[in-house]
Every structure is written in structure tokens, then in C-alpha cells.
Amino acid sequence: MPFTTISVIGLGYIGLPTAAVFASRKKKVIGVDVNQKAVDIINRGQIHIVEPDLDMVVHAAVTEGYLRATTQPEPADAFLIAVPTPFKDDYEPDLGYIESASKSIAPVLKKGDLVILESTSPVGATEQMSAWLSEARPDLTFPQTHGEDSDIRIAHCPERVLPGHVLQELVQNDRVIGGMTPKCSALAISLYKIFVQGECIVTNARTAEMCKLTENSSRDVSIAFANELSMICDKLDINVWELIRLANRHPRVNILQPGPGVGGHCIAVDPWFIVSKTPEQARLIRTAREVNDSKPLWVIEKVKIAVAEYLQANPSKTSKEVTIACFGLAFKPDIDDLRESPALFITKKIADTHPGKVMVVEPNIQTLPNNLKDILSLVDIATALKTADITIVLVDHKEFKESKSKFASATHLIDTRGLI
């Protein structure tokens, strides 16, 4: 099927790059977002999120007339839903954005259309989306009741791209295609083949949902193992970085790296979608989440101990005179994304409670977020190293790695990333 018009619902970190890549393949793309400001920015050929090279692709797509953004869905041949799926206070998934996206496209659906759910979702969400659509459009038939004869084709095709490498991974990664029926999968493949160079592998919608959750849970469990090791090694006075290097010399061992905790919007969220469905079975997955969530608090305790030790060694000083420098605020190296960042959480907690000066070095941002401006100062590497009594490495940005030798003189160093 030729797919003359493609609509992407949700123009965030996944939806906007996906819309822009379809447009770069000379498809007419209608991007839909509830955020009028984002819509206006995109229609000016600019972007409202940070992702390398995306500005150029969006600018070209808009100026050549292939991409247009709007707040109101319009008819199209395929709809891709890429809206957030957060969890609620009790870790239950919140499908509210999927529900309102489904209800917003329902009035413009027509026979033969394809609707794809791309948002990371708990098992069963695609069937639920199809049920919402069917409820809103009783005049059309859907796969849950009409199977291969349905008017509308439905599939779950989870995104798997790494922030910072989105444009490249969108095209190159293999894609899991979970149609509600084989015909739904076949149509979804023909859509993704417009730009995907990786393999498109067919399964059903529930397996596709679980596959995405499994990928991120697998990474979370592996990081939890490394984080637990780091806390064990601290007790036993063993260098965890050396230990992991040695253990990884075994041909079948590949331990990940400990850190100050797990950040970002996916790995710290998605495992809960498994836990909430199968709480009794998902014991390891839940424990891994708890281990990783506890790591920032463990780091904060270490900082308190370091301050106490410093004051013991310098009895003439008060804690007000102790300066702390935090290196890194982003949720992982070499990006400027501070959302859901353990480094940010730790730095803010220290700044809120420590009576002395707290400085931060974050080479990827120009100014501090408003809620940090009054309690922190943003400085460069040299200033921080010269002034700090306590030094904490929270992110292994390349700028810090390049200045590694300068950290050698830092006393009272807490290195959560094994940089030194």
C-alpha cells in the first residue's frame, strides 16, 4: 500500500524524529501534538527537544513541505501513536495519553487505515487501544472482533532508539512488528520499510509489548547487579572497577558499570509495567528496581560521611566552610538531558541540606534550571577542582575523562562512575 499521508501523534523524543524521517523519504506527514507551542516551533522548521542533527532534518522536512504540525488530527492512511506512558504513584501504568490520543484520531479514521502504537506499553495496551477506537467508531470493524477482515489494522511496534543516537538507530535498528493479526503485521512492515534498513521481525502485539519491556528490564537488572556489587565492595574494601574489569576477562561474563543510580525515562519506568501485571512472579525485576532506586540515597550518605571525615581532619573548620563540587548533572554521559537524572537528584539534595557552598560542573548546559539557580553555582572544571573540599563524580562526561589527571589532587573524592 502506498501510504500517501502518515500521521504521527505525539511529537516528542520519538514522534518528532519518526515524523521527520518519514518526511525525509518524501512522504506527506501530519504531526499532531496537544502542545500548541511545540506545534508552532515545528511549523517554523525548528525543534523543541534536544537530539543531534534533528534540527536539520526537521527544518528540511518543513521547508520542503513534507512535514506539517497541528493540534487537531486529520485524515491519514497510517497513524503512529508515540505519546508518553508514565506510571502513577503506585507504579501502575498510566494509559491516559494513549486513551486520549486514540479518542482524538477515532473521528478521522476510515476503512483501510493502519494504527500503530509505538509508546512503550504494558502487555494488553494495544488491545485496549483497539477497544477504545472501536467504542468511538462502531461503524468500523477492528481486529479483536473481525480478525483478518477488519476495516482497521492495528499493531504494536515499540521504539528502541537510544537518546543521542535516535536518527541513526531509527533507520538501522531491527524493528519488532506486533500486529493484532498477520495482515496487520504485513501492513505495518510496509510502512516501516519506507525508512527502516534493519530487519522487521513479526510477532503478535502482546509479545511485542513484552519484548520492549524485557529489553529495558534486562538492562535494569544488569545495572542493579553492578550497583549492588559496588555497595558490597565498598563494605569489603575492594575496588569494584578493578573487580569488574577482572571478572569481565572471563569469556562468558559481561558485567555492566555501577553508577549513582539509573536515570532517563525508560529503564527506570518500564520494569514496573511488568511488576504491576505479574507482581508475584516479577521478584527479581522488582528488586533490581529497588536496588537501582536506592543507589542515589547511598551516594548521599557517602557524601555526609565524607563531610564528617573532612571536619574531623580539619577541626578548625565548620560545615559552613566546606565546599562541595558535583561533576555532572545529566542522566548519562555526553548529553544535556537532565530529566529523571540521579546526578541531578543527588546534587539538589546536597545543595538543599549542606550549609556550605555547593558547585556543579556540567559542560553540556549553559545555564542552570531555575529551581537550582539559587542553591548552586555552575562553574568550570578548573574552578571546581581548585576550590572544592569534597569532590563527587556523578557523570563520566568526555570532558571529565579528558581532565582525569587533574582529579588526582582532589582530596575526599567520591567517584560514582569509576572515572578516576
Q: What are the residue numbers of the active site? A: 212, 266
Question: CA 289 to CA 270: how far, in whole Å?
Answer: 10
Which residue lies nearer to ligand SAJ by CB, 97 or 331?
A: 331
CB of 175 to ligand SAJ, least distance (A): 12
User: Among 148-156, 213-221, 308-316, 361-369, which window interacts with ligand SAJ (CB under 6 A)?
Assistant: 213-221
Question: CA 350 to CA 147: how far, in whole Å?
Answer: 57
Is residue 160 a contact partner of residue 173, using CB atoms and an 8 Å limit?
Answer: yes
Is residue 341 a contact partner of residue 369, using CB atoms and an 8 Å limit?
Answer: no
Task: Verify binding: residue 119, ligand SAJ, rule CB under 6 A.
Answer: no
User: Among 121-129, 156-164, 199-207, 317-325, which window interacts with ligand SAJ (CB under 6 A)?
Assistant: 156-164
Taken in order 364, 366, 369, 374, is the CA torsion positive or negative? positive
Task: Verify binding: residue 157, ligand SAJ, rule CB under 6 A.
Answer: no
Which residue lies nearer to ligand SAJ by CB, 73 or 260?
A: 260
Residue 119's CB is within 10 A of a number of other CB atoms, namely 26
Task: Verify binding: residue 93, ligand SAJ, rule CB under 6 A.
Answer: no
Question: CA 371 to CA 394: how far, in whole Å?
Answer: 19
User: Among 105-113, 158-166, 303-311, 382-390, which window interacts with ligand SAJ (CB under 6 A)?
Assistant: 158-166
Distances (CA, A) of 33 to 8, 25, 393, 399: 9, 21, 38, 36
Q: How many residues bind ligand SAJ (CB under 6 A)?
A: 20
Task: Verify binding: residue 247, ligand SAJ, rule CB under 6 A.
Answer: no
Radius of gyration from C-alpha coordinates of the chain: 24
Which residue lies nearer to ligand SAJ by CB, 77 or 337?
A: 337
Task: Verify binding: residue 202, ligand SAJ, rule CB under 6 A.
Answer: no
Would you say how long the chain is, in residues? Answer: 420
H/E element holding 296?
helix 283-313
Task: Verify binding: residue 163, ligand SAJ, rule CB under 6 A.
Answer: yes
Which residue lies nearer to ligand SAJ by CB, 179 or 263?
A: 263
Binding ligand SAJ (rule: CB under 6 A), the pick from 180, 262, 282, 351 is 262
Task: Verify binding: residue 160, ligand SAJ, rule CB under 6 A.
Answer: yes
Question: CA 115 to CA 154: how far, in whole Å?
Answer: 5
Which residue lies nearer to ligand SAJ by CB, 137 or 160?
A: 160
Is residue 390 a contact partner of residue 303, using CB atoms and an 8 Å limit?
Answer: yes
In degrees, rounded to 5, the angle at the alpha carbon of residue 211 between the alpha carbons of residues 30 and 202 is: 70
Binding ligand SAJ (rule: CB under 6 A), the pick from 5, 257, 276, 403 is 257
Binding ligand SAJ (rule: CB under 6 A), the pick from 15, 264, 328, 363 is 264
Question: CA 257 to CA 245: how far, in whole Å?
Answer: 10
Task: Verify binding: residue 274, ligand SAJ, rule CB under 6 A.
Answer: no
User: Among 33-41, 50-58, 71-79, 215-223, which window interacts with ligand SAJ (CB under 6 A)?
Assistant: 215-223
CB of 293 to ligand SAJ, least distance (A): 12
Q: What is the DSSP letter of 8?
A: E
CB of 80 to ligand SAJ, least distance (A): 15
Which residue lies nearer to ligand SAJ by CB, 66 or 331?
A: 331
In degrees, rounded to 5, the angle at the alpha carbon of residue 330 between the alpha carbons of residues 289 and 349 is: 70
Question: CA 387 to CA 374: how far, in whole Å?
Answer: 19
Instruction: Give the DSSP letter string of 332-349.
Output: STT----TT-HHHHHHHH
Say if strands 175-179 and 153-156 run parallel, antiparallel, or are unpaired.
Answer: antiparallel
Which residue lies nearer to ligand SAJ by CB, 73 or 333?
A: 333
CB of 268 to ligand SAJ, least distance (A): 7
CB of 216 to ligand SAJ, least distance (A): 5
Binding ligand SAJ (rule: CB under 6 A), the pick from 8, 61, 176, 223 is 223
Task: Verify binding: residue 17, ligand SAJ, rule CB under 6 A.
Answer: no
User: Which residue, among 354, 287, 272, has the nearest Cα to 318 in the 3D structure?
Assistant: 354
CB of 218 to ligand SAJ, least distance (A): 7
Taken in order 57, 60, 65, 68, is the CA torsion positive or negative? positive
Which residue lies nearer to ligand SAJ by CB, 291 or 322?
A: 291
Question: CA 182 to CA 373: how far, in whole Å?
Answer: 54
Sites for ligand SAJ among residues 276-295 (CB under 6 A):
none
Which positions lie near ligand SAJ, rule CB under 6 A? Answer: 120, 159-163, 215-216, 219, 223, 256-257, 259, 262-264, 266-267, 331-332
